[in-house]
Amino acid sequence: MNNHDTALIFELSKEGRVGYSLSGLDVPEVSLDSLIPSDYIREEPAGLPEVSELQIMRHYTALSKRNHGVDSGFYPLGSCTMKYNPKINEDVARFPGFAQIHPLQNEETVQGAMEMLYNLQTSLAEITGMDEVTLQPAAGAHGEWTGLMMIRAYHEANGDRHRTKVIVPDSAHGTNPASATVAGFDSITVKSDERGLVDLDDLRRVVGEDTAALMLTNPNTLGLFEENILEMAAIVHEAGGKLYYDGANMNAIMGYTRPGDMGFDVVHLNLHKTFTGPHGGGGPGSGPVGVKKDLIPFLPKPVLKKKGEGFTFEYDRPQSIGRVKPYYGNFGINVRAYTYIRTMGPQGLKNVSEYAVLNANYLMRRLEPHFDLPFTQHCKHEFVLSGRRQKKLGVRTLDMAKRLLDFGYHPPTIYFPLSVEEAIMIEPTETESKETLDEFIDAMIQIAQEAEKSPEVVQEAPHSTVVKRLDEAMAARKPVLRYVVK
């Protein structure tokens, strides 16, 4: 490894080098001063790097080598569904007829794109058991907010302005209460019972006339199916609230059950999880929202409709919550998701959930002798171990996660859900082979043994990565958020 592996692109810059090629100006040049007032003409050029094309390619290739993706190795990051990202999706999304079209072209010139979107929203409605789907939200959190805004509009249209509370389980992801806040609600917590499921008595205690909605993932963040879902739906509905489904864990149930049939009124999906839109290092995602009939009037604008043989965007929606995003959502991700759905079909999607769940249960049972398993029933697509046994030996879950890096794995989600001490949340997905799972099991068992026999090996991990553990406290105390260009 040489120094250049870690150089910032700015540090490679040398005056006079270029990495671009523009056509020469083919119109008569006019003095800039005659077009723009001098106060508004930039004095100093922006301090961007001056590098050649090969330097750029080497720079980013070097960076890519310092990054772990699903294509690099196993990525059992719980709650994130790190499955294979099909290559055909990438090819299709780059077709000029999808990539090089403008959102404001006349509708007649983009009918193929609208047909694709219509087919996708219809497919997602069927998969989730909902009556109508909007593809506009850009990501899961954006979908949550959109769904909650619709629930608020629904209650307000009924004169129910006092419904200000959104109930979330104590095991819920932090995004749920954050979305509730942005949608103008207060969130309150409902407890889990000893089996990791929502405590029905506590739910009965917290619902009331101020209940706007209950937000739930099912299977929940412990990977457990909320088997009392119908009772929960009845409790919330009787109180006049709506049931919101966080689709983060949809990968577990396709073709087995549908949120719409469980009694959910609003559903969001993460197309970048279950439906293989790549995670992209943090995005872009896509977070469609499905609703039952009584919420259709509140869908964000515009709504894509079939009209005769063609398709049109409908804007005249007086009860709509309005726009949630310019244009029509993250179209490019929606293209990828639709390509995936057409690759798998009904049987394939059911197999996806079957194998995702079998893989998770296999891992769980094989690891059960070596780690504490707080909830022992069959899991769905993911499960949560506790590292408390190893913690007593002085090895924390964080240490074990770092040790996994030495084996070439991305570690599981750790310290979440908060309700489990030293949580290790593992989601293998259906695209991993048994051989990969077996190798991972061996690594986990070895680490459990190291925790007993040579804890320092784990405590000091990672040993093989390009950097050792980083000083996060310093990063937050004295933030350096940009390079100062010289």
Partner 1 sequence: MTFRYLPMTEQDKKEMMEAVGIGSTEELFKDIPEKVRFKGDLQIEEALPEPELVTYMSSLAQKNRNTKDFASFLGAGVYDHYTPSIVNHVTLRSEFYTAYTPYQPEISQGELQAIFEFQTMICELTGMDVANSSMYDGGTALAEAALLSAGQTKRKKIIVSKSVHPESRAVLQTYANGQFLEVVEVGTKDGLTDLDELKTAVDGETACVLVQYPNFFGQVESLKEIEEIVHNQKAMFVVSSNPLSLGVLTPPGKFGADVVVGDAQVFGIPQGFGGPHCGYFAVTQKLMRKVPGRLVGQTVDENGKRGFVLTLQAREQHIRRDKATSNICSNQALNALAASVAMTALGKQGMKEIAVQNIQKAHYAKNVLAEKGLKIAYEAPFFNEFVVKLNGPVKEINKKLLENGMIGGYDLGRDYPELKNHMLIAVTELRTKAEIDKLATVLEGL
Residues 420-439 that bind partner 1 (CB under 8 A): 430-434
- Which positions ≥6 away from 460 have C-beta within 8 Å? none
Torsion of the alpha carbons at 71, 76, 79 and 82, rounded to the nearest 10: 10
Q: What is the C-alpha to C-alpha distance for residues 57 and 441, in angstroms, rounded to an integer?
A: 37
Residue 98 engages partner 1 in binding (rule: CB under 8 A)? yes
Q: How far is the CB of 64 from partner 1 (least distance, A)?
A: 4
d(CA 334, CA 180): 25
Task: Please give the residues from 215 up to 254 whose contact with partner 1 meets the rule CB under 8 A.
Answer: 224-225, 227, 229-230, 253-254
Does residue 158 bind partner 1 (CB under 8 A)?
Answer: no
Whether the Cβ atoms of residue 185 and residue 242 lie closer than 8 Å to each other: no
Among 244, 245, 328, 383, binds partner 1 (CB under 8 A): 328
Does 313 contact partner 1 by CB under 8 A? no
Q: Closer to partner 1 by CB, 116 or 239: give it.
A: 116
Q: Does 71 bind partner 1 (CB under 8 A)?
A: yes
Strands 165-169 and 211-216: parallel
Q: How far apart are CA 50 and CA 57, in angstroms?
A: 13
Does 60 help bind partner 1 (rule: CB under 8 A)?
yes
Secondary structure element (H or E) that encloses residue 229, with its range: helix 229-238
Q: By CB under 8 A, is residue 53 in contact with partner 1?
A: yes
Interface with partner 1 includes 39 (CB under 8 A)? yes
- Using CB under 8 A as the binding rule, whether residue 318 contacts partner 1 is answered as no
Stretch that binds partner 1, among 201-209, 235-243, 317-325, 450-458 (CB under 8 A): 317-325
Neighbours of 296 (CB within 10 A): 17
CB 332 within 8 A of CB 98: yes
Classify burial at 56, counting beta carbons within 10 Å of its beta carbon; exposed 0-12, middle 13-18, buried 19 or more.
middle
Please tell me whether residue 269 binds partner 1 under the rule CB under 8 A.
Answer: no
Q: Identify residue 188 by its one-letter amino acid code.
A: I
User: Which residue of 207, 213, 262, 424 would you call a contact of partner 1, by CB under 8 A?
Assistant: 262
Q: Which stretch binds partner 1 (CB under 8 A): 202-210, 235-243, 331-339, 442-450?
A: 331-339
Nearest to partner 1 of 45, 159 (CB atom): 45
Tell me the H-state helices in 289-376.
331-367
Match 């190893």 to its residue by tokens.
390
Block residue for tokens 């499960």: 383
Least distance in angstroms from the C-beta of 186 to partner 1: 8
Binding residue (CB under 8 A) for partner 1 from 361, 372, 443, 446 = 361
Question: Based on CB atoms, which residue is closest to partner 1, 79 or 392?
Answer: 79
Region 288-307 residues binding partner 1, contact defined as CB under 8 A: 300-301
| Nearest distance, CB of residue 53 and partner 1, angstroms | 6
Q: Environment class of residue 103 by beta-carbon count within 10 Å: exposed (0-12), middle (13-18) or buried (19+)?
A: exposed
- d(Cα 186, Cα 178) in Å, to the nearest integer? 9
**Binder of partner 1 out of 68, 317, 388, 389 (CB under 8 A):** 68
**Span from 207-215, 388-396, 448-456, 475-483 in contact with partner 1 (CB under 8 A):** 475-483
**Interaction mask 375-404, partner 1, x per CB under 8 A:** --xx-x--------------------xx--
